[in-house]
Amino acid sequence: MRIAVMSDSHGNLDALKKAVAEMGHVDVIIHLGDYVEDGLYLRTLTNTPVHILKGNCDIYAEDGSMALETILGGFKFFACHGHKYGVKGDLNRIYHAGREKNAQVILYGHTHRAYLEDDGRILIMNPGSLGSSKTGDPESYGIITIENGNIDAKIIPLWGYERSAK
């Protein structure tokens, strides 16, 4: 199973199109918010199911959810935009929220900074921003591959190198 993870596209439809073209076949796409409209646009680009989450810029959006709890490829996922968990300060609140939900994978956005860590109990990913990094980091998305009970995650910049979980 291949899962694409995107966040903070902020209306950059060209970046969405490029990411979809680059990533190849995926079984599901998770858009972590900012903007819900971009998640809806993703649905016009592909027949792949798209989970759309609301970010801090989506408070008036009718579509989308604040969080997603689901099982994909045998792993329990907890995904949200991250703003309600103070992720710009640290990851303590979102990490503990994920642990309370027995999540094995936590996905968040909001910071516009790609982050990937696997502590052996929980894999945490922020795919970065497809709209504008605001941090000097390249625009990026994430790919999670689940195969034979193993999980692998990568951050994929639209114009550069990959970063894997360690």
Tell me the per-residue pLDDT of 24-56, one tens digit each, with 9 for 90 and over: 999 999 999 999 999 999 999 999 999 999 999
Where the chain has pLDDT below 70, the residues are 133-135, 160-166
User: Each residue of 111-120: pLDDT tens digit?
Assistant: 999 999 999 8
- Compute the half-sphere exposure of residue 128: CA atoms within 13 Å on the CB side of its CA: 28
Architecture of the domain defined by 2-164: 4-Layer Sandwich (3.60)
Q: In angstroms, rounded to a whole number, what is the distance separating the alpha carbons of residues 46 and 61?
A: 22
Q: Which residues pair with 130 in a beta bridge?
A: none
N- to C-terminal Cα distance for the chain?
20
Beta-sheet strand order (sheet of 67-72): 67-72, 75-80, 105-107, 123-126, 115-118
pLDDT for res 37: 95
pLDDT for res 166: 47
Residue ranges of domains in the chain: 2-164
